[in-house]
Copies of this chain bind each other. A is one copy, B any other.
Amino acid sequence: MLPEPFQHALDHHKARHEPRPRGGDYLRLTDDVHGSPRGTLLWDDRLVPGYPHIGRILQLETGLAQQFSGPFWVEEKVDGYNVRVARLGDEVLAFTRGGFVCPFTTDRLPDLLDLTLFEDHPDVVVCAEVAGPDQPYVVGHPPQVQEDVQIFVFDLMRIGEPGFLPDADLDALAAHYGLPRVTRFGRLAPSEWRQAGELLRALNAERREGVVLKEIGPPGRRAKYVTGASCIDDILATVDNLPQLPAEYFTGRVLRLALFLAEQGENALPTVREQLGRAFVDGLLDALGRFRRDHRVSHTHRCRLRDRESAERLMAHLRRHEGPIQVIERRLEWDGGHWVLELEKVYAGMTGLLGHLLAGGIVFD
């Protein structure tokens, strides 16, 4: 008999068996089930909690007052991908938000974290963002990471237990093992929305993504808030993949941008109209130009790996999970310190659509 929610999830087709790197398999929730988020996983009898959803506020003045009853930490929200790192058997593995083993992050863990943490504390789960220009998932990177990748730890969890470990535990372990943490900008009260706004305008000016707010006392609520600039930059970075993203991806960011402007003022983003128009128009014209030159619309990711085998595992992972995106290995070379993998993701949706339209095809809408 499996521990809940896995028995229920399997019965309702909300859990799947996934292969382990060294043979055998584990269970992964493919949907939220009874309060356990998608990505929760069961490895033998060890349950690694999923990373919970964090809601978004679009206004600081009212949002802080509405969401928090006491002071909260203001931490940076870094633009990368979410991982959970845990020791399972004799391996330390990194899992994506969805609960897949990430071959890239797992390979690079010794470069990113002091792994003796997991020898001393085998039940700790490190929750972090991995960000930088050289990774296989996200197009774009935060301004503070200009090469390779860095990890930014923001939470600890414990295997088999719901919720996060207390802040004091994170402080202690981070200090002892030198964990790189997300920037903590400070502590604010719900009434201090003006200070929060000042910080967000500064982050916006540096084109950083935004903040996660964590209530310090119970009930420990959380909320995120992003800058207008990050909405524009997201659109520019992804509009060449428009047909394969939900259209709400774009309209949602336009709405967030307008609400950011409404509260933070026009001076926070003086050329916002030109910038937004440019993100859509130049992003698409650029995709058109690339289609005409290369007969496809694609993005080439580069990443560094310690083991050559990890590159194969990563390619297999991307080919299985990136949906209708063709993934092509372009280069794999030892640079003296790492294997450098270049992989091209061909956006099949945009490639097909532009091929059809530029050839004079007709669409019904």
Contacts and interface: CB of A to CB of B under 8 A. Distances in A.
A180 to B, nearest CB: 28
Nearest to A284: B258
Interface stretch (A56-64, A100-108, A296-304, A331-339): A56-64
B255 A364 contact: no
Interface residues of A, number: 51
Given A273-B278, A281-B272, A358 B59 contact: yes
Interface stretch (A23-31, A146-154, A244-252): A244-252
A236 to B, nearest CB: 12
A284 B63 CA distance: 19
Contacts of A277: 272-278
B363 A58 contact: yes
Contacts of A255: 242, 284
Contacts of A275: 277
A125 B365 CA distance: 25
A151 B108 CA distance: 68
A360 interface: yes
B281 A276 contact: yes
A275 B358 CA distance: 25
A360 B262 contact: no
A204 to B, nearest CB: 15
A223 interface: yes
A48 interface: no
Interface in A272-299: 272-278, 280-282, 284-285, 288
Contact of A362 (B67, B285, B358): B67
A172 interface: no
Interface string A61-88: 1111111000000000000000000000
A257 interface: yes
B251 A57 contact: no
Contacts of A239: 254
Nearest to A245: B251
B252 A281 contact: no
- How many copies of the chain does the oligomer comprise? 2
A250 B251 contact: yes
A168 interface: no
A176 interface: no
Contact of A262 (B242, B248, B288): B288
A130 to B, nearest CB: 22
Contact of A276 (B62, B257, B276): B276
Contact of A274 (B246, B252, B274, B282): B274
Contacts of A254: 239, 250, 280-281, 284
B57 A360 contact: yes
B273 A257 contact: no
A261 B285 contact: yes
Contacts of A364: 53, 55-56
A170 to B, nearest CB: 24
A284 B259 CA distance: 8
B259 A281 contact: no
A358 to B, nearest CB: 6
Q: 4 shortest A-B CB distances, which residue pairs? A: A66-B360, A273-B277, A62-B360, A247-B247
